[in-house]
A = this chain, B = another copy of it.
Amino acid sequence: MIKKITIVGIGLMGGSLAMQCRSKGIAAHIIGVDENPEHASDALSMHLVDEVLPLDDAIATSDVIVLTVPMNALVGLLPSVLDKVKQQVVLDMGSTKNILAKSVDAHANRGRFVATHPMWGTEYSGPRAAVEGAFENKAVILCDTEKTDADALDFVKDLYRKLNMHIIEMNAVDHDLHAAYVSHISHITSFALANTVLEKEREDKAIFEMASAGFESTVRLAKSNPDMWTPILMQNKDNVLDVLNEHISQLRKFKSCLEKENWDYLKELMLHANQIKRIIQ
C-alpha cells in the first residue's frame, strides 16, 4: 500500500483517482493540492482527500505525486515539481503527451516521471464529478517508458493494475496521433453539432422537444469544459487538424451523395461505417 499519495488538481480525474485509492485500499493517506479553494474544500468535505496542503509541503511528504491539472498548467507545473523530488514518483494523467514530454526531456530528474493517459473521462469536471468505479477495465497509455527509472515505472504499472486498467505502452508522438482519432475529434464533432443545432434554435424554440437518445449520445461531449479542452487542442493542433480535415472530407462524401441523389454510394458509405462494429460492441 502507498503510504502517502499527493494528487494535484482534485477534479474529475484527480477526484476519481482519490475515490478509487480509498475504496481499493491503494493508499493509506491521500493529500490534495488545488489552487481552487472551492475544489479543495469540496474534496475535504467529500472525504476524497485526508488533508489539503501547499504543493511544496505535499511533495516533500509524499511517495508519489499525481498531476491532474489542465494541459496548459501541466506543462508549466511538471518541471517545477521534478525540480523538487528526490526518490518520489511523479505521474500525470493528461490527454496530450508530446509537448509535455519534450518539456522535461533534459531534466535531471526525468527518470522519476511517468507520462500516462488513462482512457477514461466524462463530460463533467470538478471534484463533484468524481465517479466511484472510474478507470475500471479501461485502457491506460504509458508513454516513452524507456526514459523512466525502472522502479518508478513498476510503481505506476502496479498502481494502474490495482485500478484494473489495461496497460498499453507507446511513444508520445504516436499517442498524440491516436488520441486525435479516438478522442479529440469526437469532442470537436460534438461541440460543432451542438452549435449547429443551437444556431437553428434561435429561430425555433420547439426544436428540442423531440431530441432523441441518438442526438444526446452524439452531442453529450459538447458539455465538456473549454478550460480543459482548449489547451488539449492547442497542444495537439497538427494531428487534430489532419483528422478534422479527413472528417470534413468524409462528411462531404455524404453531402455529395445527397446532392447527386447517389443513393447506392450513400448506402455503401454507411455499410463501410458499419465496420466500426468490429471495434465497439
User: Footprint of B on A, CB under 8 Å?
Assistant: 119-123, 138-139, 141, 168, 170, 174, 178-179, 181-183, 185-200, 204, 206-224, 226-227, 229-230, 233-234, 237, 240-241, 243-248, 250-255, 258-259, 261, 263, 266-267, 269-277, 279-280
Contact = CB atoms under 8 A, between A and B. Distances in A.
A182 B168 contact: no
Given A192-B247, A222-B274, A244-B251, A214 B183 contact: yes
A212 B273 contact: no
A230 B189 contact: no
Contact of A226 (B120, B204, B223, B274): B274
A277 B248 CA distance: 25
B197 A182 contact: yes
Contact of A212 (B119, B212, B258): B119
A178 to B, nearest CB: 5
B269 A195 contact: yes
Contacts of A261: 234, 237
B223 A276 contact: yes
